[in-house]
Amino acid sequence: MTRKEYFIIVLILGALATISPFSIDMYLPGFPAIAKDLNTSIAQVQLSLTSYLIGISAGQLLYGPLLDRYGRKNPLYVGLVIYLIASLGCAFTTSVESLIAMRFLQALGGCAGMVAAQALVRDLFPVNKTAQAFSLITLVIAVSPMIAPTVGGYVTAAFGWHYVFIILAIITALILLSIHFALPEGRQPDTTMSLRPKPVISNFYTVLKQPQFLVYALVGGIATSAPFAYIAGSADVFMNIYNVSEQMYGWIFAFLAFAMIGSTQLNHILLKKFKSQQIINFTLFYQTAIGILLVAGTWYGWFGMYSLIVLMFIFLTGQGLTNPNATALSLAPFTKHAGSASALMGSFRMAMAGVVSALVSVFHNSTAIPMVSVMTACALGGLVVLTISKRNVRYKASQQEVEEDVSVVM
């Protein structure tokens, strides 16, 4: 493989992996405009985010077996075509109910890119090159939350929210063309791979019986859902309460996204002196304390916009510390069932994110209270689960295992 071919393949895989982050973040500045155009409330529009997260949760469990059974490209083509059609459906929708439905289909389709990108790295690169490829792809994923809402804000202000989904459809069409003409096939279809529910469920059950996985999957799933409360509520808080523009909201979102991206690098330094479980314990404790301060300060009106942003920045740094450590501790007991464990953990996290975003919608009251309260509840819930169960868990993750997990979800 030449250097040029390597660059092209990594670029395509990076684009595949960023479909879902862009789909989550790019339309956030349009929430008020969507609510106005569709004659509905911000709370109802927030449910379109919930449906997308539920779709990702289901899709991660679906595409793993399909990509093994039918090869990489065919399920990928089907998924991206579904995503493209659903994106156009979102752009031309006339009701919030159809928007919610189209977002669910969009997630089911787009999830193919997220799962296939990881599988294709393992297929196309030698072992000594996979870490480098994953690092480059992860960098693209990490930057996307800083770019997507900013771009979405300018597009919404200049052309209207509909064009956000039209642009996503165009980008997907270009990705489809690049896959067809420039991406190698990867692993061939495995006709011996069973898609029957029984063996798939049996693998998942084996994973769930492992106490360490169950504890840290729960801790990670609950605690790392906090950013999705922020994602669901931030457009309403900053654009309707503090009256910032779509463009300004994009820059605020990018600044707060940096809190999570930067702290993943801090995690590498901390692991030289502390164990993963020590980092998680401390992180959840300080997030809970900051969260209580956020709730109290919002309730009593202590904060202006900038002080709220500063405290949220401090809170969100915890995500870059909890996420990789909880992931590594969850997967540490497995070798044979690592794929099933990874899929199950990812699915649970997205399901929790869907629940969290729905709670922000349910308790919507035109204040920041629902957003900061649900964020705090996530940190507190993770701390409670960890405190109750940690005596029954054998810690196995090494520093190397944690450092190799550099995934960023937002």
| Pairwise pLDDT comparison (257 vs 175), residue with the higher score | 175
Question: Would you put residue 301 in left (φ > 0), alpha (ψ -120 to 50) or beta?
Answer: left
The whole-number pLDDT of residue 193 equals 64
- Model confidence over 88-143: pLDDT tens digits? 999 999 999 999 999 999 999 988 887 787 777 767 777 566 656 665 676 677 67
Task: Compute the mean pLDDT over every residue in the chain, rounded to the nearest whole number.
Answer: 82
CATH class of the region 1-185: mainly alpha
| Pairwise pLDDT comparison (329 vs 305), residue with the higher score | 305
- Model confidence over 158-200: pLDDT tens digits? 999 999 999 999 999 999 999 989 888 877 776 666 667 777 7
- Quickly tell me which residue has 């997308």 as its tokens: 52
> Is it the case that residue 361 has pLDDT exceeding 50?
yes
| Pairwise pLDDT comparison (391 vs 155), residue with the higher score | 155
Global pTM value? 0.77
- Model confidence over 268-306: pLDDT tens digits? 778 778 887 788 888 899 999 999 999 999 898 888 899
What is the domain partition of the chain in residue ranges?
Answer: 1-185, 196-410
Closest by CA to 317, choosing from 376, 266, 377, is 266
Residue 315: φ, ψ to 5°: -60, -45
Rounded to the nearest angstrom, the gap between the alpha carbon of residue 171 and the centroid of all alpha carbons in its chain is 19
331 confidence band (pLDDT: 50, 70, 90): low
| Pairwise pLDDT comparison (120 vs 264), residue with the higher score | 120
Domain 196-410 part of CATH 1.10.286.10: no
The mean pLDDT value for 49-76 works out to 82
The mean pLDDT value for 62-76 works out to 79
| Pairwise pLDDT comparison (190 vs 316), residue with the higher score | 316
- Token couple for 54: 């539920």
